[in-house]
Amino acid sequence: MSYLALARKYRPRSFADVMGQGHVVKALSHALAGDKLHPAILLTGTRGVGKTTLARIIAKCLNCETGVSANPCGVCSACREVDEGRFVDLLEIDAASNTGVDDVRQVIENAQYAPARGRYKVYLIDEVHMLSKSAFNALLKTLEEPPPHVKFILATTDPQKLLVTVLSRCLQFNLKRLPVSLIRDQLAKVLDHEGLQYELPALSQIARAADGSMRDGLSLLDQAIAFSGGQTLMREPIEDMLGTSGRARLFELLEALAGNDSALLLRGLQALEEQAPDYAALLSDLAASLQRIAVLQMLPGAAGEEDDAVLLTLKDRLRPEDVQLYYQIAVSGRRDLPWAPDPRLGFEMTLLRMAAFRPDEGPATPANTGGGGAALRGSAAAGGVAAAPAAAAAPRAQAAPSPSPSPEPPAAAPKPALPPLRLQSAEDWLTAIDNLGLESFARQLARNCAWTARVGAQLHLSLDARARHLLTPERRQQLTRTLCERLGEDVELVVEIASEAVLTPAQQAQQAEQLRREDAQTAMENDPVVRAFREQFGASIKPGSIHPLDS
């Protein structure tokens, strides 16, 4: 007898066997229990999550000889024939191979005839998004009002390509990607049933490579069994098979970054080069590891058995702000990798960028110099990275005089004298705002007031009606007090809400900024390099992305 692939051998035969899709199973079970299943079902989701499997289980539920229910017997001729893929009233159509309107018309014509063996004729149209627009239009009427003995089950990995008119006629269920832990546990059950030995970390590697697909996980398990020759599935050989053997090196690189150790970083990069890994996959794994470290730092209760012991150590050695920066650099490096001269160079440059940049740590101390090994960060030096700033800071720290028992407090530096003010015109008011030394909301109040007039000791201002919320008694008093101090005389401030549009200092500043932006936009559009890109590659400037250099 020919070998049966694990993905087929362990395909679920009933709703109870379906894993990770409880929200879909519950709805379908309730509908089938009362024989009230919608005539058109749409199953969406990534590959290998159970779309075809659910369709076959539905066909068994509808045609089981014991009656329509959510729990088919599994032993009658109809159930066995569905499991064996030879039930005459379950018609599986590959829309990728039958895309034309003539193929759909043939389906519609055959749907008029009663089922040959079962209670319902079930049409499973896989990858339905591949149908042409004319084929969809031909199917619409039949989907909306099918014969009473017909059920349509549509399956697709790309529901965005379906016509809205098709979606509106179907009961849609979105199947979820399966978590790593669920796939790993199922692989363990399969190996236990097959009588094979394994290491749990090896199964975690396979489950992670399956990327949410149980079918992919079982297919990779088939490959792993063949790769190991039927022996115990070990982590390192499985990593070699999957091309992820550099994952352990990633932790060494992260330890080098955490310890500020350039020697360890160099050894890690050299070891990776000898393995010739997939650098794009490594960068993705690096970003995933950093994301997990960030989760463990922010949510300590999220730690689980899937987490490597090294990650639990690194979360205490890396600062949260460093982890956030490293993650952003890793994601950017993954995006830019196709543009690098060589994938290895792009990967190494990403690691060196992490080593060269981190949020400001403040003065160097023994706690943040990283212990053994040469430091990664410091001032630029020819031929490489210089030593950490701790070495330069030490002599200064030693030369500092010891504090006296009761030091005298240093005298406060005198505040610089503010320039005198005069207020007689709108120009004086515009100049005065920047010289009043106002802070926070009082400054915003002044910026949104336009000069009206000065009558004796009274200063009249018009407040923009859109900023009326800024006018409070406390802010009026603060502004009045500051004006009196700066003018050297008592003045009375009269602020009125403007009944029409007024040109305030804030609006003048916005207009000036807009003009500067327009000038920068014009200069960029006239740049010869930009013009060349637009003419040769059809490039365009993203609106709002041009800013003056000093803005």
Q: What was the pLDDT predicted at 419?
A: 59
If pLDDT is split at 50, 70 and 90, which confidence band does 306 have? low
**Range with lowest mean pLDDT among 116-130, 352-366, 396-410:** 396-410
If pLDDT is split at 50, 70 and 90, which confidence band does 372 have? very low
Q: What was the pLDDT predicted at 149?
A: 92
- pLDDT tens readout for residues 481-508: 888 888 888 889 899 998 888 888 988 8
> Cα angle vertex 117, ends 113, 122, to 5°?
60
Q: What is the mean pLDDT of residues 382-397?
A: 38
Q: Is the pLDDT of residue 181 over 50?
A: yes
Q: Is the pLDDT of residue 362 over 70?
A: no
When comparing pLDDT for 375 and 37, which is higher? 37
Q: Which residues neighbour 506 within 8 Å (Cβ) at sequence distance 6 or greater?
A: 444, 447, 448, 464, 467
- pLDDT tens readout for residues 241-258: 887 666 667 888 888 888
Residue in 202, 375, 209, 174 with CA at minimum distance from that of residue 281: 209
Q: Residues of the chain with pLDDT > 70: what percent?
A: 86
φ, ψ of residue 50 to 5 degrees: the values are: 120, 20
When comparing pLDDT for 331 and 436, which is higher? 331
Q: Which residues neighbour 421 within 8 Å (Cβ) at sequence distance 6 or greater?
A: 428, 432, 435, 436, 483, 486, 487
Beta bridge partners of 458: 455, 492
The alpha carbon of residue 91 and the mean position of all alpha carbons in its chain are separated, in whole angstroms, by 39
Residue in 228, 210, 214, 218 with CA at minimum distance from that of residue 190: 218
If pLDDT is split at 50, 70 and 90, which confidence band does 427 have? confident
Residue in 282, 212, 249, 218 with CA at minimum distance from that of residue 203: 218
Question: Is the CB of residue 87 less than 8 Å from the CB of residue 120?
Answer: no
If pLDDT is split at 50, 70 and 90, which confidence band does 404 have? very low
Domains annotated on the chain, with CATH:
6-174 (3.40.50.300), 180-242 (1.10.8.60), 247-358 (1.20.272.10), 426-503 (3.30.300.150), 511-551 (no CATH)
If pLDDT is split at 50, 70 and 90, which confidence band does 370 have? very low
Q: What was the pLDDT predicted at 366?
A: 41
Beta bridge partners of 463: 449, 497
Largest distance between two CA atoms of the chain: 110
Q: Is the pLDDT of residue 392 over 90?
A: no
If pLDDT is split at 50, 70 and 90, which confidence band does 328 have? very high
CA distances from 513 to 300, 520, 523 (A): 46, 11, 15
- Give the number of other CB atoms < 10 A from CB of residue 547: 12
Average pLDDT, the chain: 82
**Where are the strands (E) in 355-444, listed by range?**
380-381, 384-385
Most confident of 130-134, 152-156, 205-209: 152-156
CA distances from 96 to 103, 125, 138, 391 (A): 11, 10, 17, 67
Half-sphere exposure of 500 (CA within 13 A, CB side): 0
Distance CA 122, CA 507 (A): 68
Q: Residues of the chain with pLDDT > 90: what percent?
A: 27
Question: Is the CB of residue 171 less than 8 Å from the CB of residue 41?
Answer: yes
Q: What was the pLDDT predicted at 244?
A: 67
Q: What is the mean pLDDT of residues 466-480?
A: 88
Distance CA 212, CA 417 (A): 68
Token code pair at residue 119: 């209670």
Q: What was the pLDDT predicted at 103?
A: 82
φ, ψ of residue 493 to 5 degrees: the values are: -95, 125
DSSP code of 423? -
When comparing pLDDT for 220 and 243, which is higher? 220
Identify how many contiguous H helices and E strands the chain contains and give both numbers: 23, 10
Distance CA 501, CA 464 (A): 7
